[in-house]
A and B are shown apart, each in its own frame.
Chain A
Amino acid sequence: MSDIAKNPDRSFVRTENIPEAPPPISTAGVAGWMRANLFSSPANTALTLLTFYLLYLVVPPLFEWAFIDSLLEGESNKDCRGIEGACWVLIPKRFGQYIYGFYPEPERWRVNLTFILFCLNLLPVLSDRVPGRTFAALFLVFGFPIVAFVLLHGAFGLESVPTHKWGGLTLTLVFASVAILFSLPIGVLLALGRRSEMPVIRTICIAFIELWRSVPLITVLFMASFMLPLFTPEGVNANELLRALIGFIMFASAYMAEVVRGGLQALPKGQTEAAMALGLNYWKSMQLIILPQALKIVIPGIVNTFIALFKDTALVSIIGLFDLLLVARSAVTDPKWLGLEHESYIFAALIYFIFCFSMSRYSLWLERKLDTGHRN
């Protein structure tokens, strides 16, 4: 290359094409990544070093406590004497209760079967490699709850297991999944209603959303479990779990509605107009054009709400439902396991973490998959 080409201070015409070249090593590969992300500036380098130091302070002791100096097998807290690390002994002994609550042991296969069926039903909804998404999604909302009820509660010759025996992770999952499954469609309808041009529908939806949103969830649960029975005629006393569940769904729907409305508002008006101009009616344009885009925009918000819901199920322990948290708490009130609070709560926290973190990863994956290169 001539000097003129490098510094064209006079008139200049390129005669040869510059060939395409790979990026320099420093911006590619592990070294490049580290330089760009960890050591890009003095401040960044200082932060990186500080972080590594803190990790060094925290992680090895934690690891030792949990895995090296710990005890896994034992009969009671007496075995924990002399153990410096975690004393996990109650976890394997009480494992069944963490997972199933007081669900009778010989019937626990029904819980497992329900869980497996649920996963199978969920698969086509979550992944597009498995066909039949629409049907699976509809079945999940309208069919599966019946299947789950028959299996869990018992009917058609299956021994009846009343809901007050359900507990642990089972109860937490029942609560969370039902709330998640119903709050999304109800939330979507409420959000559409709130934007409706019909004043009656709009007012009803606004009132519903604002009412449920302005009451603490604990109040909702208390109302559902203690107040509602006072107002309903005797005999039609709905099951306690069901009452709490309905309150929970209403609460969740109100939140979901506002998240979805955010997505609807982010869409340019032109999308609705183009759909209408093509002759699509209201419901079709919502189904085919507006909702797919609006929901995609608010995936982070929706999953955020899902995760919050999942964790909020822990509040049902307040009205005496025996969820995972209450199992973890009551396990250590047993004199046999006294003093093992840390282990019990950490184990429960780990279970919560696994489910919430999976949801978060799934949402990231979904966002990336649905990205069609469109920027508004």
Chain B
Amino acid sequence: MSENAGEAGAVNTETLSNEPIIRIEGMNKWFGQFHVLRDIDLTVYRGERIVICGPSGSGKSTLIRCINRLEEHQKGAIVVQGIELTGDLKQIDNVRREVGMLFQQFNLFPHLTVLENCTLAPIWVRKTPRAEAEELAMEYLTRVKIPEQALKYPGQLSGGQQQRVAIARSLCMRPKIMLFDEPTSALDPEMIKEVLDVMVELAETEMTMLVVTHEMGFARQVAHRVIFMDEGQIIEQNEPEEFFYRPQSDRTKLFLSQILSH
């Protein structure tokens, strides 16, 4: 969490395409009686990088999990890459192929080696030949800087290494969009940086990214837009510099003062 103000606003928003890749309109979600997401409207453009923050329980995870239908919404529309998410299982699978997701708990498959973790989905979902899938996996494992761990099992790796494998595993599906749900919050401080570094490099590839995180240094460095959520609603969104230095809403100010105070 660098307080390095000089870097803020380094992201150039001008070059962003204005082709929407995700469109969320009037989306509402309930868990039983509990109204978790309320009237969410959000358009994400191709190549855009969005950081989502907000207090615990505000619905951040639920929001991004709706985008690949790990959670079902009850009202409104979510359109990903021109495909609307409805009960249609085929369409859901089509969306999931294009959307990678990182979890706080890594969720690697412990019974498979690192390499097998990475080749599994390309082989079984994309029907890539094994040799080709392995080559691709090694390429991405090199990019996340752990090619030498390919034949180990996840249980033999550190948390930071596991999360980087998880990134490589997602990238092997060559997704158009990557969702991150607090990818560094289960990690020890010295491992956070190695994962963030990989994510920053990923940002340079023009990948569309939605990142739930409280790493404000990361937000400043790569985000085009920061979204603040509270009580299931989008309270405020803005470019990082505006968001951090000139927050409008009182709730945002309170939240920022709390997370930046330490």
Instruction: Count contacts on B: residues with CB < 8 A to the other chain.
Output: 27
Nearest CB in chain B to that of A373: its residue: B155
* Chain B hits for A277, CB < 8 A: 68, 70, 96, 99-101, 170
Given the known interface contacts A268-B105, A273-B70, the answer about A279 and B96 at a Cβ–Cβ threshold of 8 Å is yes
Bound-state Cα–Cα, A280 to B97, Å: 9
**A284 at interface by CB-CB < 8 Å:** yes
Interface-central residue, B89, B96, B103, B154, by most chain A CB under 10 Å: B96
The CA of A279 and the CA of B94, in the complex, are separated in Å by 7
State which residues 280-305 of A face B: CB under 8 Å. Answer: 280-281, 284, 288-289, 292-293, 296
**Residues on B with beta carbons closer than 8 Å to the beta carbon of A155:** none
A289:B109 contact, CB within 8 angstroms: yes
Q: Which of A273, A278, A296, A375 contacts B121 (CB 8 A)?
A: A278
Asked if B155 and A279 make an inter-chain contact with CB atoms under 8 angstroms apart, the answer reads no
Q: Please pick, from A278, A296, A375, the residue contacting B125 in the complex, using a CB distance under 8 A.
A: A278
Given contacts A288-B124, A372-B153, A375-B155, contact A279 B97 (CB under 8 A): yes
Shortest CB-to-CB span from B212 to chain A, Å, is 14
Judge if A72 is at the interface, Cβ distance under 8 Å.
Answer: no
**How far is it, in angstroms, between the C-alpha of A275 and the C-alpha of B170 when the chains are bound?**
11
Tell me whether A81 is interfacial, beta carbon within 8 Å: no
Q: Quick one: closest B residue to A278, CB to CB? A: B121
Residue B43 at the chain A interface, CB threshold 8 Å: no
Beta-carbon contact of B173 and A279 below 8 Å: yes
Taking the nearest CB of chain A, how far is it from the CB of B131, in angstroms? 19
Scan residues 73-116 of chain B and give those whose CB is less than 8 A from a CB of chain A: 89, 93, 96-97, 99-101, 103, 105, 107-111
A120 interface residue (CB < 8 Å to B): no
CA distance A191 to B225 in the complex (A): 46
Q: Is A141 an interface residue (CB 8 A)?
A: no
B169 close to chain A: CB less than 8 A: yes
Bound: A271/B125 CA distance, A: 17
Closest A residue by C-beta to B124: A284
Contacting residues, chain A, for B70 (C-beta < 8 A): 273, 276-277
Establish whether residues A278 and B111, one from each chain, have CB atoms under 8 Å apart when the complex forms: no
Task: Enumerate chain B residues within 8 angstroms of A274, measured Cβ to Cβ.
Answer: 101, 103, 107-109
Residues of B near A292 (CB, < 8 A) are 111
Mask of B121-156 contacts with A, CB within 8 angstroms, 1/0: 100110000000000000000000000000001111
Shortest distance between the CB of B108 and any CB in chain A (Å): 8
| Pairwise interchain contact A270-B120, C-beta atoms closer than 8 A | no
CA distance A245 to B53 in the complex (A): 61
B-contact 0/1 string along A119-151, CB 8 Å cutoff? 000000000000000000000000000000000
B interface footprint on A95-134 (CB within 8 Å = 1, 0 otherwise): 0000000000000000000000000000000000000000
Give chain A's interface secondary structure class. Answer: helix
Q: Does A368 contact B (CB under 8 A)?
A: no
Cβ contact of B109, chosen from A271, A373, A375, cutoff 8 A: A271
Q: How many residues belonging to A are interface residues under a CB distance threshold of 8 Å?
A: 23
Interface: A346 (CB within 8 A) = no
Question: Which B residues, 147 to 177, have Cβ-Cβ distances below 8 Å to chain A?
Answer: 153-156, 169-170, 173
In angstroms, Cα B124 to Cα A372, docked, is: 23
Q: A374 an interface residue at 8 Å Cβ cutoff?
A: yes
Chain A residues contacting B156 (CB-CB under 8 Å) are 372-373
Residues of chain A in range 237-284 having any CB-CB distance to chain B below 8 Å? 268, 270-271, 273-281, 284
**Contact present for B154 and A374 (CB under 8 Å):** yes
Q: When the two chains form their complex, are residues B124 and A280 in contact, meaning their CB atoms are under 8 A apart? A: yes
Kindly name the residue among A268, A281, A284, A370 whose own CB sees the greatest number of chain B CB atoms within 10 A. Answer: A281
Report the separation of the CA atoms of residues A277 and B101 in the bound assembly, to the nearest whole angstrom. 6
Which residues of the other chain, B, contact A273 by a CB distance below 8 angstroms?
A: 70, 103, 107
Residues A293 and B110 in contact in the complex (CB < 8 Å), given A277-B100, A279-B173: yes
Chain B nearest Cβ from A364, distance in angstroms: 18
| Given contacts A372-B111, A372-B153, A279 and B105 within 8 Å (CB-CB) | no
- Across-interface contacts of A268 in B (CB, < 8 A): 105, 107
Question: How many Å lie between the Cα of A370 and that of B111 in the bound state?
Answer: 8
B157, chain A: closest CB distance, angstroms: 10
Given contacts A273-B70, A373-B155, contact A280 B105 (CB under 8 A): no
Interface residues of A (CB under 8 A from B): 268, 270-271, 273-281, 284, 288-289, 292-293, 296, 370, 372-375
16 other A-B residue contacts (CB within 8 Å) besides A279-B96, A372-B110? A268-B107, A270-B103, A274-B103, A276-B68, A276-B96, A277-B101, A278-B120, A279-B97, A279-B125, A280-B120, A280-B125, A288-B120, A292-B111, A372-B153, A372-B154, A374-B154
Q: What are the 3 A-B residue pairs with the smallest beta carbon separation, nearest first?
A: A374-B155, A374-B110, A274-B107
Residues of chain B touching chain A, judged by Cβ–Cβ distance below 8 Å, are 68, 70, 89, 93, 96-97, 99-101, 103, 105, 107-111, 120-121, 124-125, 153-156, 169-170, 173
